Amino acid sequence: MSKRITLMTALSMVFASVIFASLLSARESDSLTVRQTVDEQDKRYQLQGLRERLQALEKQLDAVRERSQAVASQQHANVFNPGITIFGNFVGRWDDAPVFLEEAEGDGKAPRVDDKFNLREVELDFRGAIDPWADGVVIAAFESEVPGEFTTEIEEGYFTLKRLPVIDRAPLGLKLKAGRYRPEFGRQNKIHTHDLPWMTRPRAYQTFLGDEGFIRNGVSAGFFIPTPGEGNTLEAAADVVNDGGLPYSVGAPAAKGGYLGHLKWFWDIADGHDLEIGGSGYIEDTSQGTFASRLYGIDVTYKWKPFRGGARRSFHLGGELFVADLPDAIRQDDRPLGFYTWAQYQFGRQLYIGARYDYTEVFAEDESQDEGSELNTLGAYLTYYTTEFLRFRVALEHAGKEIGKNPNLNTVFVEVNFLFGSHPVEPYWVNR
C-alpha cells in the first residue's frame, strides 16, 4: 500500500514537474517572442532612422555636388581668361572763371571745360599668367578732357618675368619687365589717375612728366640691394626706354634713348610706422655726346597705419621734388624745379581728409615770358569710400596766376570713382 502511495506521489510529482516545465517553457517562449518583437521594432526604428539619415545625406551631397559643379563650370569657363577690371572716373567741376583747354579745336577755338560734368576716364585692366615664367598686363584707357570726346590709348601693356628660364634662383630678387609701362620715377608716377589720393596730378608732375605722368616703351630691371638688418630694404630699378615726350624738352634734338635709375629705401620704423625715401634720375643722350634732357627727383613719404585698428585710422605725410636740367638747345644754365607736399588723415573706416600744396617754376619756349614766374596751387579734399570699389570725393582747389591762363582760379570738384570685375591686389591701398 505504502509502495503504491509512494509510486502515486512520484508520478504526481513527475506530472507536476512536466506541467510546470511546460508552463515555464511557454512563458519563456512568450518572453522570447516579446523580446524578438521589441528587437524587431528597434531594428525597424533604427532602420527607419538610418533611411532618413541616408536621405538627408543624399540631399546634402546633391547640394554640395550641385554647388561644386556650378563653381567648377564657372572656373572652367573662365580658367584661361585674364582677370578683368573696369574702372570709371566721373568728375564734375565748377570754376569762378572760364577755363579753356590749351589745344584749340578745328575752328581755332579752345574748348571750355569749366562748370561741366565729365566721364574723365574709363580703363579696362586685363591681367593674368602667360605661362609658368611670365605674367602679362594690358590696360586700355579711354580718356576725356572735353565731355563726350574720348581719346583711346594703351596706357600700359607689359609682361614681367617671374622666373628666369635659365636659372632657378633670381639673384637679388631680380624682376624683369618689358613693354609699355609707368617707370618708377618718383612715388606716384606708377599710380593711375583713378587711384590718386587727389583730384588732379600735382602741377609738378604735369609740368615735368606730362599730364598723365611718365609712360614709356622700354625694358626694366628691378632688384634688391642687401642692407643690414631686416627692418629696412633698398630697392633699385634700371630702365632703358624710348626718348622724347617730356613736356619741357620740346624742340630738343633727337636722342638715342632714355635711361632711368631709381633707388628706394624703405624703413619699418616701428609697428605701424614706416618711411620711404626715393631718388630718381632720367637722362636722354644724343649721338653728339650732348644731352637732350635730364630730370631728377626725390620723394619722401611717412605713413602711420596701426596694426590694430589700421582699417580705421592712418596718416600720410609726403612730398616729391623735381629738378630739370633743360636741353642745351632750349635753354642754357636753367634748372627749373617744382615740388608738392601732401598730408592725409583717415578718421574712420570710410573717411579721409587731406590737403596738398604745389609749387612749380614755369618755363616756356619764349624765355622772356616766364622770367621768374611760378605757380602755386593749394587743394583740400574729403574722400568717402563705401567699399574699396566705390569712392566719392569732394575737393577745393585754388591755383595762383599762370601765364596765359586764368588768374587765381578757384575750383570745386566732385568725383565718383567706381570699379568692378576681378580684384587685382594692386594698388588700391598704396595711398590708404
Partner 1 sequence: MLVRFIALGLIGLLACVSVPSQAQTKKLKVVTTLAVLKNITEEIGGDRVTVDNLSDPRQDPHYVQPRPTLMNKARKADAFIEIGLQLELWAQKVINGSGNPRIQLGQPGRIIASDGIATLELPRVVSREWGDVHPYGNPHVWLDPINAKRVATNIARGLGRIDRAQRSEYERRLSEFEQRIDEALFGAELVKEIGGSKLTRLAERGRLLEYIDNQGLSGKLGGWLKKAEPLRGQQIVTYHKTWIYFATRFGFSVPIEIEEKPGIPPSAKHRDQVITFVAKSDVRALITADYYDASATDFIATKTGAAVIAVPIDSGGVAGTQSYFDLIDYLIAKISAPYRVSAHG
- Check residue 86 and report its DSSP letter: E
Interface with partner 1 in residues 186-245 (CB under 8 A): 222-224, 230-233, 235
The distance from CA 253 to its chain's CA centroid, rounded to whole angstroms, is: 39
Interface with partner 1 includes 305 (CB under 8 A)?
yes
- Check residue 368 and report its DSSP letter: G
- Check residue 432 and report its DSSP letter: -
CB atoms within 10 A of CB 367: 11
Interface with partner 1 includes 251 (CB under 8 A)?
no
Q: Which stretch binds partner 1 (CB under 8 A): 63-71, 94-102, 339-347, 376-384?
A: 63-71
Interface with partner 1 includes 173 (CB under 8 A)?
yes
- Check residue 109 and report its DSSP letter: P
- Check residue 63 and report its DSSP letter: H
Interface with partner 1 in residues 3-22 (CB under 8 A): none
Integer-rounded Cα Rg, in Å, for the chain is: 39
Distance between CA 375 and CA 370 in Å, rounded?
11
Q: Which stretch binds partner 1 (CB under 8 A): 142-150, 182-190, 260-268, 407-415?
A: 260-268
Beta bridge partners of 167: none
Beta bridge partners of 281: 261, 296
Per CB under 8 A, the list member of 110, 140, 172, 275 interacting with partner 1 is 172
Interface with partner 1 includes 43 (CB under 8 A)?
no
Beta bridge partners of 88: 122, 418
Strand 232-241 to strand 374-387: parallel, antiparallel, or no bridges (unpaired)? unpaired
Per CB under 8 A, the list member of 114, 115, 211, 268 interacting with partner 1 is 268
Interface with partner 1 includes 77 (CB under 8 A)?
no
Residue with cell 590737403: 355
Q: How far is the CB of 302 from partner 1 (least distance, A)?
A: 13
* CA proximity to 201, closest of 107, 115, 89: 89
Per CB under 8 A, the list member of 18, 21, 50, 164 interacting with partner 1 is 164
Q: What is the DSSP string of 213-251?
A: ---EEEEEEEEEE--SSSSEEEEEEEEEE-----GGGTT
* CA proximity to 89, closest of 190, 212, 218, 264: 212
Q: How far is the CB of 385 from partner 1 (least distance, A)?
A: 11
Q: How far is the CB of 309 from partner 1 (least distance, A)?
A: 7
Interface with partner 1 includes 266 (CB under 8 A)?
yes
Interface with partner 1 includes 174 (CB under 8 A)?
yes
Q: How far is the CB of 170 from partner 1 (least distance, A)?
A: 5
- Determine contact, residues 213/182, Cβ cutoff 8 Å: yes
- Determine contact, residues 197/354, Cβ cutoff 8 Å: yes
Q: How far is the CB of 215 from partner 1 (least distance, A)?
A: 20
Per CB under 8 A, the list member of 140, 170, 298, 378 interacting with partner 1 is 170
- Check residue 371 and report its DSSP letter: T
- Our CB check for partner 1 shows the closer of 5 and 166 to be 166
Interface with partner 1 includes 389 (CB under 8 A)?
yes
- Our CB check for partner 1 shows the closer of 179 and 327 to be 179
Interface with partner 1 in residues 98-157 (CB under 8 A): 129, 132, 135
Q: Which stretch binds partner 1 (CB under 8 A): 167-175, 244-252, 294-302, 328-336?
A: 167-175
Interface with partner 1 in residues 306-325 (CB under 8 A): 307-312
- Our CB check for partner 1 shows the closer of 350 and 373 to be 350
Distance between CA 280 and CA 259 in Å, rounded?
11
Strand 116-131 to strand 216-225: parallel, antiparallel, or no bridges (unpaired)? unpaired
Q: Tell me which residues touch partner 1 (CB under 8 A).
A: 67-68, 70-71, 74, 129, 132, 135, 160, 162-164, 168-170, 172-175, 222-224, 230-233, 235, 264, 266, 268, 271, 274, 305, 307-312, 349-350, 387, 389, 420, 423, 425-426, 429
